[in-house]
Structure 1
Amino acid sequence: MRCGVGESPVWHAAEAALYWTDIPGRTLWRYDPGSGQTDHWSLPEMAGCMAMTPDGGWLLAMETGLFRVARLVPGQATPPLQRVATVAHARAGMRFNDGRADRQGRFWAGTMVMDMSLAAPDGKLYRHDPVTGALDVMRDGLITPNGLAFSPDGRTMYLSDSHPARQAVWAYDYDTDTGTPSTPRLFIDMTRYPGRPDGAAVDADGGYWICGNDAGQIHRFTPDGRLDRSLAVPVAKPAMCAFGGAGLDTLYVTSIRTDDTDPLSGAVFALQPGVRGLEEPMLRA
């Protein structure tokens, strides 16, 4: 399969399967590396990111808000979606983009103007508490929010803006009790490295892995912001990465389809980076 924009890969440890979304294709995908089977489900809106729920389902950040969907069963149709929250975007033509759960089970996701040529800073970063149902704006003025990740102890939050006009990754102190980021500081100036900062993951040692979109590379930065290594993928536009596999030692990378001259663009790749990742948090009940 080839996605238009493959995003938000999440390793489901209980199922030993990888899930991800094709944003413009309005499709959720599932891959079982044990059997080699691939399944997919259609969605009524574009989904930018998702997180696992305790009942075996998913929370999806889509075009108009957040939606819950029950456990997806291979071979069966998409279950009905339940709207959890509605978002009043600043303008037309916006949707959710990158996001994930923090280590305490809150959901974070950013919005963007889909026409990136406008360079419109109307994107916002939202925090959703699944227990109270609250959906709060935690940062505004973003163009293309991306790279959201949390350190192994949960006390550092990372956020990037991947638009060509920004190309920066920030680190925040993160209060794990209240879910509040503070003291933002520039973590990586990506204009110094190949590619724009896209989706990211953190390994068990605290290394921050970020896709270098347009450069066909995945970069690992140490917790103090030093470039440690770069891995190549055979496409120009890697979009987001996630650790998975039985030992959490496989780095799965989704990508963006460019054109038919690159038959691998839009595919999902599996790398062996030589480090272990962390199990993706589940939303709290």
Structure 2
Amino acid sequence: MNAVAATMGIERIGNMRCGVGESPVWHGGERALYWTDIPNRTLWRWDPSSGQSSSWQLPEMAGCMAMAADGGWLLAMESGLFRSTAFVPGMVAPLLRRVAKVTHAREGMRFNDGRCDRQGRFWAGTMVMDMSRAADDGQLYRYDFSDGVTPVLSSLITPNGLAFSPDGRTMYLSDSHPTRQLVWAFNYDIDTGTPSNQRVFVDMTALPGRPDGAAVDAEGCYWICGNDAGQIHRFTPAGKLDRSIAVPVAKPAMCAFGGEKLDTLYVTSIRTSDAEDPMSGAVFALQPGVQGLPEPMLKD
């Protein structure tokens, strides 16, 4: 296992600092990175060729998002799932329409981590925002155009780490709450979009950090942010820790592969104390030495 120093080959992009930076998505067609700042109800776009950033205010907190084949986006927000037109730099506000309403188990809930499977179905989990309650009212939902939104898994506290193997036949899901700190693997039926055979893939209670957002590389290895430990961990498909990379913030939130060759790992983070963690909330780019996979698009 190789540990990489916190400053080695890691670049901060832009000067923005998010409250909770989440759901980084590389848009290959635009050659740009998108992500959401959940508590500030803001969506960000960064163009690495020009170094320019753009942002848009949202009417609700967006926990995650996915590209759509028509050039728009699907956003999982507080009250449900919303389709948007493309986010064009210079546009004052995106055009949003709700395509699926979600009735939460209690007040004070929102969507958190999510993404599309390899077939273009969208998956996203919900959570109680007050994590001190340790309330397991969260659910994992599946959305597709024909069936709408369907709850599939329940009893989650803080669902995170959703990802799919390169062949799409394994689904990963974590629960990052301090009382759980587990990553599960599931067999995944690519024809029906049904997970089964839930099993512990990684128990992170003995490892640095809580399991947060994740990505899968072209070799099938699973990269996950170690929240509170300032590390990104890579696990083999067998669940073996392969390496850990230190980042210059305590709370990395989610990672995603991007760049023209998909060989850059982008990492968002959560803002904490300015005095203790002055770059917290920033977004970083590093070269991990492996390539990622194109992010699947929503299929209508």
Q: TM-score range by the shorter chain?
A: over 0.9
Q: Deviations over 1:40-65 (max 9, x none)?
A: 00000000000001111100000010
1:251 equivalent in alignment to 2:271: no
Aligned-partner residue type, residue 67 of structure 2:
M
Structure 1 residue corresponding to 2:254, chosen from 240, 252, 257: 240
For residues 147 and 34 of structure 2, the distance between their equivalents in structure 1, rounded to whole angstroms, comes to 24
**Structure-2 residue corresponding to 1:82:** 97
- Point out where structure 1 has 5 or more consecutive residues left out of the alignment: none
**Structure-2 residue corresponding to 1:102:** 117
1:152, distance to aligned residue in structure 2 (A): 0.2
1:217 equivalent in alignment to 2:245: no
1:69 equivalent in alignment to 2:88: no
For residues 94 and 40 of structure 2, the distance between their equivalents in structure 1, rounded to whole angstroms, comes to 18
Aligned-partner residue type, residue 277 of structure 1:
G
Aligned-partner residue type, residue 78 of structure 1:
A
For residues 193 and 226 of structure 2, the distance between their equivalents in structure 1, rounded to whole angstroms, comes to 28
Structure 1 residue corresponding to 2:170, chosen from 156, 162, 182: 156
For residues 165 and 206 of structure 1, the distance between their equivalents in structure 2, rounded to whole angstroms, comes to 28
For residues 94 and 198 of structure 2, the distance between their equivalents in structure 1, rounded to whole angstroms, comes to 40
- Partner-residue secondary structure (3-state), 1:194: coil
1:80, distance to aligned residue in structure 2 (A): 2.1
For residues 270 and 133 of structure 1, the distance between their equivalents in structure 2, rounded to whole angstroms, comes to 37
For residues 233 and 39 of structure 2, the distance between their equivalents in structure 1, rounded to whole angstroms, comes to 26
1:205 equivalent in alignment to 2:219: yes
- Partner-residue secondary structure (3-state), 2:18: coil
**Structure-2 residue corresponding to 1:24:** 39
For residues 238 and 270 of structure 2, the distance between their equivalents in structure 1, rounded to whole angstroms, comes to 29
Paired residues of 1:84 and 1:133 also in contact (CA < 8 A)? no
**Structure-2 residue corresponding to 1:189:** 203
Instruction: Report which stretch shifted further, 187-196 or 71-80.
Output: 71-80
For residues 272 and 11 of structure 1, the distance between their equivalents in structure 2, rounded to whole angstroms, comes to 15
For residues 133 and 43 of structure 1, the distance between their equivalents in structure 2, rounded to whole angstroms, comes to 26
**Structure-1 residue corresponding to 2:9:** none
Q: Deviations over 1:181-231 (max 9, x none)?
A: 000010000012100000000000000000000000000000000000000
For residues 230 and 158 of structure 1, the distance between their equivalents in structure 2, rounded to whole angstroms, comes to 19
Q: Deviations over 1:135-160 (max 9, x none)?
A: 11110000000000000000000000
- Partner-residue secondary structure (3-state), 1:117: helix
Aligned-partner residue type, residue 147 of structure 1:
G
Q: Deviations over 1:104-160 (max 9, x none)?
A: 00000000000000000000000001x215111110000000000000000000000
**Structure-2 residue corresponding to 1:51:** 66
Identity over aligned pairs, percent: 77
Paired residues of 2:56 and 2:94 also in contact (CA < 8 A)? no
**Structure-1 residue corresponding to 2:8:** none
Count of residues in Structure 1 that have an aligned counterpart in Structure 2: 284
1:265 equivalent in alignment to 2:258: no
**Structure-2 residue corresponding to 1:136:** 150
1:13 equivalent in alignment to 2:10: no
Q: Deviations over 1:52-99 (max 9, x none)?
A: 011111000000100011001101112221001011000000000000
**Structure-1 residue corresponding to 2:6:** none
For residues 58 and 271 of structure 1, the distance between their equivalents in structure 2, rounded to whole angstroms, comes to 26
Structure 2 residue corresponding to 1:35, chosen from 37, 50, 68: 50
For residues 15 and 78 of structure 1, the distance between their equivalents in structure 2, rounded to whole angstroms, comes to 19
- Partner-residue secondary structure (3-state), 1:191: helix
- Partner-residue secondary structure (3-state), 2:234: strand
Paired residues of 2:258 and 2:264 also in contact (CA < 8 A)? yes
Taking structure 2 as the reference length, the TM-score comes to: 0.94
1:23, distance to aligned residue in structure 2 (A): 0.0
> Per chain length, whose mean CA-contact separation is higher, i.e. which structure has more relative contact order (CA < 8 Å, sep 6+)?
2
Q: Deviations over 1:10-48 (max 9, x none)?
A: 000000000000000100000000110000000000000
